[in-house]
Amino acid sequence: MSRFRLYPTPAQQVALLEQCRQARYVYNLALEQWSMWTRDKGPTPGYVEQAKQLTEARAAFGWLRAGSQTVQQQALRDFDQAVRNFYAGSHRRPTWRKAGLHEGFRIVGSQASRIVKLNCKWAAVNVPKVGWVRFRLSRPAPDAKSYRITRDRADRWHIAFAAIPPPIPAPGTGEVVGVDRGVTVSAALSTGELLTCPGLSDREQARLKQLQRRLSRCRRGSNRSQRAKVAIAKLQARAGDRRKDWVEKISTDLARQFDVIRVEDLRIAPMTRRPKPKPDPERPGRYLPNRARAKAGLNRGILANGWGLLVQRLERKAAGRVEKVNPAYTSLTCSVCGHCAPENRESQAVFRCAACGHQANADVNAAVNIAAGRAVSARRETPPRVSPKREPQLATSA
Ligand SMILES: [Zn+2]
């Protein structure tokens, strides 16, 4: 995807939002049909069947006919893809599209190629039923067969073209790097470099807290709550922008510098799921503390560091050069002699080998292990007792 900032006029924003509303309506209708379907009604309608129903609905309802057919059809395509992903097991069950949260639609085919370059900084795209909308050319516009227009919660519009940029060629030096991703340090390299993902400053964080407190005291749906929501979304968007920018820079750097990049094979989604409630065996209907708040904090840390995104971008930029390594015991094993014991880990930050005395930053030590691709056997005399949060599970699917 290559994404550009879109600058619609206020009148165009109204028209664009109407398109988003229709795409969402059609998607939710398809979801409703799919989830309410019972076996006695015959096979579940797929895309073709639903597209036929859409044509009938457009003939019957004027307001639907007033919208773009491409937008509505593509909403059905999106839903079809969501169902496929669900059955393939890679995604969870499709969920409702919500106003304010899911604002977007897709244009494909010949309509997607109506783009003109205005000057070196601006271009315009002819959106069906909206007209020519300007977007900022932060880099050359790609030649794509489809695009998606979205509005984020901070009220910014974007246009994303479905064009995958070519991967970065390997430097050919034969050098290997290991990347250990952590919470206090976002990424440690086997070269000894420690990288921190930028987030919000202390002042911005304080402001975010203040706004969240204000929102909790507002009446739901009031103008005050709406204003607080937008202000919160703007701050969160800023944090997200910084994180994405950091991930892009780091992944490009790594792909340019090293031939092989080894990362831990982590499953972020199961790791960051909320902990299960613990029923109290003595008092039925009551629950024991399950450290949900602590886990929520850790999850925030993991997600804020953009773990998943970094690997995803690396796999795109350094296609075929990213290797996933079993993460088991990489943080407890000495990178010099291979001695593996929980005593090695003096603290969260310091690693000191109990056998050979090797001392290093704990994350760098782990990164060296990852770079070596050392598959440490789990069979040992004294299995260490490690929290599942510290030693993540090995992914079963690639
Ligand atoms: Zn050692």
* Residue range 218-271, pLDDT digits in tens: 998 899 998 998 899 889 888 888 888 889 999 999 999 999 999 887 765 566
Whole-number pLDDT of residue 375:
43
Whole-number pLDDT of residue 395:
38
C-alpha 382 – ligand 1 centre gap (Å): 17
* Structure-model confidence comparison of residues 269 and 47, the more confident one: 47
What is the Cα–Cα distance from 312 to 308, expressed in whole angstroms? 6
C-alpha 368 – ligand 1 centre gap (Å): 13
Q: List all residues 6 or more positions away from 136 whose beta carbon is below 8 Å from its beta carbon.
A: 4, 5, 6, 7, 121, 122
C-alpha 298 – ligand 1 centre gap (Å): 29
Residue 340 token pair = 């593996």
Q: How far is CA 23 from CA 17, 51, 79, in A?
A: 10, 13, 10
What is the Cα–Cα distance from 123 to 133, expressed in whole angstroms? 8
CB contact at 8 A, 332 and 386: yes
| pLDDT tens profile 130-148 | 999 999 998 888 888 899 9
If pLDDT is split at 50, 70 and 90, which confidence band does 390 have?
very low
- The model's pTM: 0.69
Whole-number pLDDT of residue 388:
44
Return the domain boundaries, the chain. Answer: 2-161
C-alpha 110 – ligand 1 centre gap (Å): 63
| pLDDT tens profile 91-106 | 889 999 988 888 999 9
160 closest CA partner among 135, 184, 197, 183: 135
Whole-number pLDDT of residue 122:
94
- Around Cβ 197, how many Cβ atoms within 10 Å? 22
C-alpha 352 – ligand 1 centre gap (Å): 8
If pLDDT is split at 50, 70 and 90, which confidence band does 272 have?
low
C-alpha 147 – ligand 1 centre gap (Å): 53
- Beta-bridge partners for 123: 117, 135
CB contact at 8 A, 176 and 189: no
C-alpha 333 – ligand 1 centre gap (Å): 8
Whole-number pLDDT of residue 302:
58
- What value does the mean pLDDT take over residues 355-381? 75
Q: What letter represents residue 17's amino acid?
A: L
The angle at the Cα of 123, spanning 119 to 128, to the nearest 5 degrees, equals 150
C-alpha 391 – ligand 1 centre gap (Å): 20
